[in-house]
Structure 1
Amino acid sequence: MRHFPFPHIVSLAVFLLGAAFLLVVLVLPAWAEVEVLTASHTHVMGDSESRNQARTICFNEAKRKLVEQAGSYVETLSRTENFELATDEVVAFSAAFIRVNTDREEWAMLGDTLTVTMDLSAQVDPDEVKQLLAELAQDAAARSRLTENLEQQSQAEAQLALESDPPTRERLSDDIDVLRAEQAAILTEIETSTRFAAELVQKGMTSEEIETMLGSPRARKSSSSGDYSCWNYGHVWVVFHNGLASCMRTRLEYNSRYGGDCHCTGLSMNFLMQ
């Protein structure tokens, strides 16, 4: 019988494989999977409707179903994180968190009547959504702007579905494009704050230096002992220890030792600077 000359190497290999498996099992769940939503609607074209009107009505109905799904999903995320946002706010914001894709448009005859069917899809990144909800919960001005924008978009889409005059339809379509661009700008402001903080903050900086560079934080909190203070810039928290920047993290975690979530301990994956 042939014997392997280095049995300890086999044992080491088995150990490393087992450790790798445990790492995959424990670490991968920290990144939640992107949720894919789909919706479909068939519209029966009315006698006085044009094809453009029928297409718009069908798209809006399919999108409404999609937004309802996104709203339920996002509202569930909000409950698990306790963002202290009203349910109707969370559901409304979900319309801004998704980008709708038209996967299929099909026209068909149903007897003597023309119908149009549209299949839509959208992706929701739960980690990104939770970060945006956390930021909106702390920024009343951004929350108000986004709410007003979404209300105006809903009204414009409803008018577009009923409008038959081509110049008016074109104007309403342009208005909707502008409103969507404004939504993106509001959310980008949050991302910009995050990027500036990640690029400019260095360990040991004073709170005065950081406020001079980045401006006033969107939110502040302190540990129960008062040794730590946390400033929010977008998706980033700058954590000060005795007045000096000690770490920078993407998520605050409760720790009984500090009697709260403002501190510099926890999972390394949540830190940008430690």
Structure 2
Amino acid sequence: MRHCPVRVLALLCLAGLLAALPAPVRAQEKWTGPPVAGPASPPLSPVSPAPGADGSGAVRRQVSDARAFSATSTCFYGPQLDQGQAKRLCADQTRTKLLDAAVPGLASEPAVAAARLPPGDLRAFVDNLLRVAVADEEVRPVADGLAVGLTLRAETPADTLAERLAAFAANPELRAAALAETAARDRRAAEARLAAVPFGADREFRAMGMREEMREDAAFAARQVVPGMSMAGVKELLGNPPAMKQAVIGPESYVCAGYGRVWVVFRDGVVSCLRTRLDYVARYGTDCHCAGNYATILKND
């Protein structure tokens, strides 16, 4: 048997010892390069803003097709009335004036024309339909009373016109209530015109250069004054009347202005007739009107 050299045996033992030792821990080097990108995320789909989030779509303006009307009055009252009474009376008068303007305007609407309402029913229906608001108001104290200037505006809702018209035509109780309310309103307007001092408001608000000298020539008045003229127009021609009477007959108010040998009779603020003298009629309980003895009437509407 051959024996291995001692040197070879020593080397083998040393190799075995080295193999048995644990492997040295190697420090990991830090990565200084750019970060490793992970899996790409899918692109986000665009998100629509919630409706109205920015306020742009929250409010939508709708163009209204409602019919609009307006009426303006100048009213003059004596010192016996306070401002509240004067404003109420002028409002009653202007409200009826506004209704007078609205009735023919709505009568041409196709739905209203097709309904063929009688004049009284049509007036009551329009009166019930109006939404009235004060557009302008002025109360001016003067030396001998109060002058009131008032403008009212009203709209009629077009979107419910046909529906309300059908309900009005089909319901007798609704129609009767509307007729009664309009009649009461017309009565208050007549009383308001009666309480007003004729000619005063035109003098205060318009400051027209009206002649103050009375012209007693009946022929002149008969030539110049015609039915349909306003109180202001008559006063511009003839001046202030030295005699005056007032009356309310039904829904109409009358003012009789005496200019010597001729009386100018106004109905609801415009000339209705001229007559040489007033004539008392028992069923009216007054002589301020355009009825009675027609031999005394010079001109009539």
TM bucket normalised to smaller: 0.3 to 0.5
Q: TM-score, normalised by structure 1?
A: 0.41
**Structure with larger Rg:** 2
Q: TM-score, normalised by structure 2?
A: 0.38
Q: Which has the higher helix share?
A: 1
